């Protein structure tokens, strides 16, 4: 029982350590994105866009708008796992910042979809580049584990996800 308790406590400590490091890494990623984006701002309409105020959700929404045809709130919300209200708020901020625009969906007078502006397209490319760099970094880590080890990790993460989905 003592070994089990020690293993549990070590696992709990490592999980908390990971969560804190993930939060710090997210902030560093955000800062790197802002540094890369900083050179994109020019005079004109873009000068009103305070790009350092973009949230991670807004960056993901912008990426979805840039990569999808006729992107609408429902499609974006379903794809990135954010509420439709969250997507609507993010889109409103992106439009206000001059990074996205709203237009009627072809063939429909009522339904709207979103498009990126030229600056929005540049920022979406920066976001995509950062995702690719992160995926490469993760793949290098994954390749250090055997298939069996990866299966155990996947099972643990699935169990942890299910646990988080259940209310207390």
Distances (CA, A) of 28 to 21, 23, 35, 88, 95: 10, 9, 10, 26, 26
Instruction: Produce one character per residue of 5-35: b if its CB has 16 or more CB atoms within 10 Å, e if not.
Output: eeeeeeeeeeeeeeeeeeeeeeeebbeebee
For 31-45, write each residue's pLDDT tens digit.
777 677 666 555 444
CATH of the structural domain 2-165, one choice from 1.10.1740.110, 1.10.10.10, 1.20.1250.20, 3.50.50.60: 1.10.10.10
- Residue 27 is predicted with a pLDDT of 76
Backbone phi, psi, residue 115, to 5°? -130, 155
Regions of the chain where pLDDT drops below 70: 1, 34, 37-52, 70
pTM of the predicted protein model: 0.69
Chain length of the chain: 168
For 12-33, write each residue's pLDDT tens digit.
898 888 888 877 877 777 777 7
What is the DSSP secondary-structure string of 76-144? HHHHHT--HHHHHHHHHHHHHTTSEEEEEPTT-SS-EEEEE-HHHHHHHHHHHHHHHHHHHHHHHHHTT
- Residue 38 is predicted with a pLDDT of 66
- Residue 105 is predicted with a pLDDT of 79
CB 100 within 8 A of CB 116: yes
């Amino acid at each position: 029982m003592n070994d089990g308790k020690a293993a549990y406590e070590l696992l709990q400590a490592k999980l908390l350590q990971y969560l804190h490091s993930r939060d710090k890494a997210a902030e560093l990623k955000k800062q790197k994105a802002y540094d890369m984006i900083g050179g994109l701002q020019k005079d004109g309409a873009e000068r009103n866009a305070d790009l350092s105020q973009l949230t991670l959700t807004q960056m993901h929404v912008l990426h979805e708008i840039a990569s999808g045809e006729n992107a609408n709130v429902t499609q974006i919300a379903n794809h990135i796992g954010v509420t439709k209200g969250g997507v609507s708020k993010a889109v409103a901020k992106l439009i206000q910042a001059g990074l996205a625009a709203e237009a009627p969906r072809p063939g429909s007078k009522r339904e709207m979809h979103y498009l990126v502006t030229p600056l929005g397209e540049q920022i979406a490319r920066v976001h995509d580049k950062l995702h690719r760099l992160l995926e490469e970094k993760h793949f290098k880590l994954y390749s250090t584990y055997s298939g069996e080890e990866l299966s155990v990790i996947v099972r643990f993460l699935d169990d942890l996800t299910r646990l988080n989905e259940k209310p207390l």
